Amino acid sequence: MARPFRLALASLAVVLPLALAACNEPSTEETIKRSENVSTKAELEKALGRPTEIQKLGPIEQWTYKTSDGSVTFVLAGETVTLASGGTTKK
């Protein structure tokens, strides 16, 4: 009986932090505010962490961050952040 209990406890230890992290996603407004003064890829990653999704086309990258009410997308040319856009989902 002890082995299934340990397995369940180990599973909970892995799943619970992931579930809590998803609940704590910042809003679109908060994400844009935290990224206001960034101009490089390194600064953006430092301000917001790794994006939810990265799409690449040559030297152009599109970084998308999922937010609690939508998403924010940044367009990077090489190491430079060139454009940001955010959208919310109506509830």
Containing domain of residue 41, as a range? 26-88
Number of structural domains (the chain) is 1
Q: What is the pLDDT of residue 38?
A: 96
Q: What is the pLDDT of residue 88?
A: 76
How far, in Å, are 1, 15, 18, 36 from residue 7 at the CA level?
Answer: 10, 12, 17, 44
Q: Identify whether the C-beta of residue 91 lies closer than 8 Å to the C-beta of residue 82.
A: no
Residue 10 is assigned to a structural domain of this protein: no
Residue 81 is assigned to a structural domain of this protein: yes
22 has a pLDDT exceeding 60: no
Model confidence pLDDT, tens digit, residues 29-88: 999 999 999 999 999 999 999 999 999 999 999 999 999 999 999 999 999 999 889 887
Work out the burial of residue 14: count CB atoms within 10 Å of its CB; fewer than 13 is exposed, 13-18 middle, 19 or more buried.
exposed
pTM (predicted TM-score): 0.70
CA gap 40, 48 in Å, rounded:
12
Q: What is the pLDDT of residue 24?
A: 83
Residue 14 is assigned to a structural domain of this protein: no
20 has a pLDDT exceeding 80: no
Residue 84 is assigned to a structural domain of this protein: yes
Residue 1 is assigned to a structural domain of this protein: no
